[in-house]
Structure 1
Amino acid sequence: HEIHLKEYIAIEQLPITITGFEAINEIHAIAYMVVTDEHMIGIRDALKPHRGELYE
């Protein structure tokens, strides 16, 4: 799924360089990208599921 995030970043020409993938178990995994506050709401709303977490 991380590849789809990278494709989205390239298509939208976003200034995002940090992406990743974490396998929770055999049937559950998370793909993520790190964005700034100014981009978070728009990206969260454009992608599904609509989830965004603040990392400080």
Structure 2
Amino acid sequence: MERKIKLIWDFRGPAASKTAQHHEIHLKEYITSEKLALDITGCQDLNDLHSLAYMIVTNSEMKTVRDALKPHRGQLYEG
């Protein structure tokens, strides 16, 4: 079983939640256009001024996606 990586984009400020939701739309479009192995995305509000959008990719796809989309950070995905 290949490792899964969670790529994360952070958004801050009063519009952070809406921006993260909008960014997730573009992540889904990228997954479809590039025919990635996984179709897992999401948004999370950490507080009123900090939200994030994320996508899960396989370890073998991580470098390509990372270089194309420039996430702010990443972590192993356990799910």
TM range (shorter): 0.7 to 0.9
Q: Which residue of 1 aligns with 2:33?
A: 11
Q: 1:21 to 1:33 in 2, by over 3 A?
A: same
**Which protein shows a greater Rg?**
2
Q: Which has the higher contact order (CA 8 A, sep 6+)?
A: 2
Q: 1:49 to 1:16 in 2, by over 3 A?
A: same
Note the residue ranges of structure 2 that are not aligned, 5 or more in a row: 1-22
RMSD: 1.6
Number of residue pairs matched by the alignment: 56
Q: Which residue of 2 aligns with 1:54?
A: 76
**So what's the TM-score if we normalise by structure 2?**
0.59
CA deviation string 1:1-46 (max 9, x = no partner)? 2111101111112122211111112222111111111001111111
**So what's the TM-score if we normalise by structure 1?**
0.77
Q: SS of the counterpart of 1:43?
A: helix
Note the residue ranges of structure 1 that are not aligned, 5 or more in a row: none
